[in-house]
Structure 1
Amino acid sequence: MSREWLVVETLREATAVQRRIGELAETADRIGPVQHIAGADVSMKWRDSRGPIHAAIAPVDGAPATATMIPAFPYVPGYLGFREAPVLAAAWDRLAGKPDLILVDGQGRAHPRRAGVASHLGVMLDVPTIGCAKSLLCGAVAGAVGPQPGDRAAVVDRGEVIAIALRTRPRAAPIYVSVGHRLSLDSAVAWVLRLCDGRRLPVPIRLAHDAANAARRAFDGQG
């Protein structure tokens, strides 16, 4: 695992790193047999940009690994990878068995520099990752998304399809699926649909969300 992009000193350096990550993030399938799948998410106190971030990587078939860290990088929209990737990397280090695929609660290539946290983490770990976001950071949905699970529409930014707005549950808002690293967009959407289990968000994301929140509550309880 490369730690090259965990810490940056300036916004200019962060921008350059994101552009490099965007160049290196692979958008074709380079993934072997998938036996172990995990979700990745972070939790923090509401509107607390200075306090600790609690991260979890939660395998579907095993115990989650968590980590807590006070981020060195300030809160800047579009640069959350520099706050979240270091603590997610710490959780990864504590994970006994490494997953073959990670679904990340956040953006992948659906990012102004094509380097959301799913791409940041995937390129850094060289692990296939998928971004699953509840809102858009950039781009616009080209057309309407039908009402049934599996209905979808492209998300386009500057002439490029960067994500899919995907209906995963009837009457629920769509989620936005983007490539993190080492998968095609079609494969990313197929995996998300396979793992949704009738809910809006995929099982791995829900497990990671619960684990990260549990880590935050445990930390707060120590005070």
Structure 2
Amino acid sequence: MSDPVLELTEDAFLGGQLRLTQLKSGHRAGHDAVLLAAATAARSGDRVADFGAGIGAAGLAVARRVAGIDLVLVEIDPALAGIARANAAANGIQAGVIVLDVEADATAFAAAGLVPDSVDAVLMNPPFNDPARHRVSPDTARGIAHMATATTLPKWVHAARRILKSRGALTLIWRADGLADVLAALDHGFGSLQLLPVHGDAGSPANRILVRAVKGGRAPTQIHPALMLNGESGLPNERVQEILAGKGTLPLASQ
């Protein structure tokens, strides 16, 4: 039996600086990926790993902003990994693409070339919806992309800690109401936390939290002023629109 034909779209990111192919239905890259990239600190020559890369949107956005990084896209779904590989090539970006479960053990990571203490920066947008509170999608790939178990976050953070060099940084995006889980997962081996709440508008609670943590860091935790996607008038925040267009970074990206 032949594989089903995937329905794809081509979409512009970073104001057209990236053109990415992605699945027409199911999990699709959007604002979260771009905000995560804009919060990720990297310098030319750094080795940067994007966990749960999907079609590569976040990692490729970092590579578009910072020339000369050694980018590794880690994705469990072979079909999405293939799309990510094609997206990197289509945009003229050098990137290694690894089909790997982020929750795999150290031996599997090492076999894929991600040995301990070998990476300068990890970024990740793990599955973060609680299946007890959200209807699980009948689309298997979409379910994997969105639904978390009790061990998802701790295992992803553990994998990041293992491959990061000392003083390497992890940047992640998560549900704002799950901040306690993020802090608990980062309590082992990470410090120098920087937190950036993301709100739909000034009248609504934060629905996302961007976090940067340093392996072995000891600086006090910083909470940055909240990012509002929409202003008081209900119109899109101009600063956010600049970031989505690839014209700026978020405070967490400062080295």
Q: TM-score, normalised by structure 2?
A: 0.29
Which gives a bigger RCO, structure 1 or 2 (Cα 8 Å, sep 6+)? 1
| TM-score of the pair, normalised by structure 1 | 0.32
Higher Rg of the two aligned structures: 2
Q: Which has the higher strand share?
A: 2
